[in-house]
Structure 1
Amino acid sequence: MTFDPAQVLDWRHRALIPQGKCLYIQSGDPGDFDGYLIGVAGHVLESHTKDMMFALVVPERRACPNRNEADVNAHDEMFSERVLRVSGSLFRALCPKACIIRGPLNQRNIIPLKFIFSEPDMYGDLVESQPPSAGPISWRSVVDLAEMVQRKDVTSVVIDMNGSMGYFKLLTKLAPSLGSKLKASGVPIVIMAGVLAEQETGTLRVPGRDPRSTMNAIYHPEAVQLLLDMAKKEGVPLLFVTNNVCNHMFRFEDSEDIIKELELKGLMKDLATQWYGPHLKGKCVPFDWVSFTSMLLYNRFPALLRTEKRHLWVGKHDASILVLDIADPNRSTTPTISANLHGTQLWGVVDSVISVDRSTMLQLARSLAKEMERL
């Protein structure tokens, strides 16, 4: 199927978004290359869609300059400010019109510090090389975000879970209309997380981590539970994108492969070079791009996106455990399924992505570079 990227990036084309302003809240992922890629896409989406506003929430991750520190939750406030200054400056350069929100400190981290990417070390020079016109980041707050949600001319809100949801608890408290406006958008909450019940988990095995817990849900399990509760109460559909799907459909060999295939230029090219180092050779997957593209195609371009119904099971005491089981009462149980469903409770039926047309993902990514030049 042929398509016009400009039509996909006009969110009102073939969509159910009502008249009035629509606020898109992107849960930012400030370390990964693909987090910046979808940030650029949000900026372009705003320019293509009438009466759309784009807000990007950048979480404060638990940061420590000592990579040999044994405590994975160690946090150095001064170093954290350096991390935020780098990521915020990059987002400001790439998304000059976005409302960039400083989110709260992540509740927890489970990855050993020696494995965590250091933004000041790896991206610092890229920030210094930006033209003076880019300017320093001027943060907005979750309070500001809530005021945007509550505006009378904002008739719908779209939110994703491509990063930490730490801001969600305060946002729900300050913006009582959030749930109804999420429902009004006609767009599902896209969740980049979860594991398939019938498959062995492939998450990094580290102490203190349930292997069924995936990254975006790990940072703030309480906020994830609040998100699920609101979706159920308001009848907002959920669209899950798992790592299983991304690994299968959108894998690249190295940074050069990604730069060539996505036709990256300028700062995005530099970010890809820094992020996809030798340790990721053969395993370079822009996960967030699969999720973002799925969100744009859902219910608009069905020939380009395949989904299936699954039962969502959530950890009884830890909402970062999200297990997607086949929605078939006649399916046979296996030891793997039993183990993955242990200690969970049924939330309900959700949509789960099976596949996204690869050429579509590539064409949309390639169109961003041209759009950024135009904007």
Structure 2
Amino acid sequence: MKQKDTEADRSPSFDPAKFFDLRERGNISNGACLYIQAGDTSDFDGYLIAAAGEVLQLRTKQFDFVIAVPERRVWLDKNENDLTKHDPVYSEEVMATGGAILRHLCPRACLVRGPLNQRNVIPWRMMFNEPEKYGPLLQGLKPVNVQWTALKTLADRILSPQVHSVMLDMNGSVGYLDSLVKMLDRDGEQVLGNKLRASRLPIVIMAGVQAEVVPQTLPLPGRDPRSTSNAIYHADGVRVLLRLAKQYSVPLLFVTNNVCNQLLKFQDAGEVLEQLLGLREGEGGLLRKISDTWFGMAHLKGKCVPFDWVAFAAMLLYNRAPTAMKVVQQELWVASKDPSVLVLRDTSNQTQSDVVMKNLEGTELYGMVSTVSYIDHAVMLALAKYAVATHSNYTAPGK
């Protein structure tokens, strides 16, 4: 289909490049800034925001980009019912595949290998196989040295007086965070908390469900339907993140699954290619191949939602484009026994419906947080196209 011009494409006042310089309009404080992205090496949108992070590092002065990737639980026997099992040998293949892709997409980024995720809820028969699906995409590309960085090195970098501020997101598992904070000890944790606040940006959390709506998460045995993917894998990491935010007055910005499904959905890989990535048939390199592979899966037909891109766009637009993004204040309720259950409640409607009461069951009020209610569709597309085009030019052979 032919891509139509949008208001964002035509408007001379909207310049996507400016939003990839986080110092434009003074959004982050002076001095060196460290951005730690929660890496996701399975979903396409995890790789898209990794590539966009590389563009951020290119456009923003004194800005270091880190992708922290916890080791996820893996098992090759698809008939195994025990979801707590883990194959460390196969896991190395998974990490090697994802790490190589990240290194190709992000040649300057610091790639940090985190510890093993605490939990898996996906049946092994449904688990995405990175070496099988993504491994062939690396054939013909120049071999790279992934150069995983140890978590201790990241801890030392955070404590360095040369780093003035730190940004975090939860666009993937934060399985690294509790181990990182333990390494920092009490005094170091205070340094991290102060630097998070100094960034003047919220921690963007791509997770949570709305209290007023029946959860639409994939029903799985042992999974609370209110638990969303990024939060479900490492409860201790989520618990530490919420504690840091409250203790050091760091704002939280939630982007829920409900909002993502409303704001950015495509029919198939072809629509993603043209409308989101701004590419034609035959154009694009590794990123395009990942998109075709991921969104080419039959079960995603008609519901191709790049969740992480909505969250990344929210980070770029926060306090910089009031007409392009709307944010509301809502109550955050967290399950006392499982912090992966994150429920956002609309305070403008205090009706005690059966759905609300069921969603709040077993939770405690955390406090008021910001949640994204709207992002201009054309703006999200324009930002993505700019990121892809700039990344392609920057990482092209000979660059």
Query: Scaled by the length of structure 2, what TM-score is found?
Result: 0.91
Task: Give the drift of 1:205.
Answer: 1.1
Q: Which residue of 2 aligns with 1:208?
A: 222
Residue 216 of structure 2 aligns to a residue whose secondary structure is: coil
Residue 302 of structure 2 aligns to a residue whose secondary structure is: coil
Equivalent runs, 1:9-48 vs 2, <5 Å:
9-48=20-59
Unaligned runs of 5+ in 2: 1-7, 395-399
Q: Which residue of 1 aligns with 2:369?
A: 350
Structure 1 stretches of at least 4 aligned residues deviating more than 6 Å after TM superposition? none
Residue 323 of structure 2 aligns to a residue whose secondary structure is: helix
CA RMSD of aligned residues (A): 1.1
> Deviation string for 1:306-337 (max 9, x for gaps)?
11100000001110110000123x62110000
Q: Which residue of 1 aligns with 2:146?
A: 137
Task: Give the drift of 1:107.
Answer: 0.2
Q: Are 2:237 and 1:218 aligned?
A: no
Q: Which residue of 2 aligns with 1:282?
A: 302
Q: Which residue of 1 aligns with 2:5?
A: none
Give the % identical residues.
Answer: 48
Distance 1:278 1:166 in 2: 30
Equivalent runs, 1:249-268 vs 2, <5 Å:
249-261=263-275, 262-264=277-279, 265-268=284-287
Number of aligned positions between the proteins: 372
CA contact (8 A) 1:46 1:53 kept: yes
Distance 1:88 1:16 in 2: 31
Distance 1:356 1:325 in 2: 19
CA contact (8 A) 1:161 1:189 kept: yes
Partner amino acid, structure 2, of 1:92: R
Q: Which residue of 2 aligns with 1:154?
A: 163
CA contact (8 A) 2:228 2:341 kept: yes
Partner amino acid, structure 1, of 2:91: S
Distance 2:125 2:278 in 1: 32
CA contact (8 A) 2:332 2:366 kept: yes
Partner amino acid, structure 2, of 1:217: A
> Deviation string for 1:3-35 (max 9, x for gaps)?
111100000112331211000000001100000
Distance 1:63 1:251 in 2: 29
Q: Are 2:351 and 1:332 aligned?
A: yes
Partner amino acid, structure 1, of 2:318: Y
Task: Give the drift of 1:68.
Answer: 1.8
Task: Give the drift of 1:60.
Answer: 0.7
Task: Give the drift of 1:162.
Answer: 0.5
CA contact (8 A) 2:69 2:176 kept: no
Q: Which residue of 2 aligns with 1:294?
A: 314
Partner amino acid, structure 2, of 1:338: M
Task: Give the drift of 1:355.
Answer: 1.2
Partner amino acid, structure 1, of 2:268: D
Q: Which residue of 2 aligns with 1:227?
A: 241
Q: Are 2:175 and 1:174 aligned?
A: no
CA contact (8 A) 2:68 2:113 kept: yes
Task: Give the drift of 1:227.
Answer: 0.7
> Deviation string for 1:173-194 (max 9, x for gaps)?
2331111100000000000000
Q: Which residue of 2 aligns with 1:369?
A: 388
Equivalent runs, 1:300-339 vs 2, <5 Å:
300-328=320-348, 331-339=350-358
CA contact (8 A) 2:170 2:206 kept: yes
CA contact (8 A) 2:328 2:373 kept: yes
Match of 1:193 among 203, 207, 214: 207
Distance 1:167 1:152 in 2: 22
Distance 1:166 1:211 in 2: 21
CA contact (8 A) 1:323 1:341 kept: yes
Q: Are 2:126 and 1:115 aligned?
A: yes
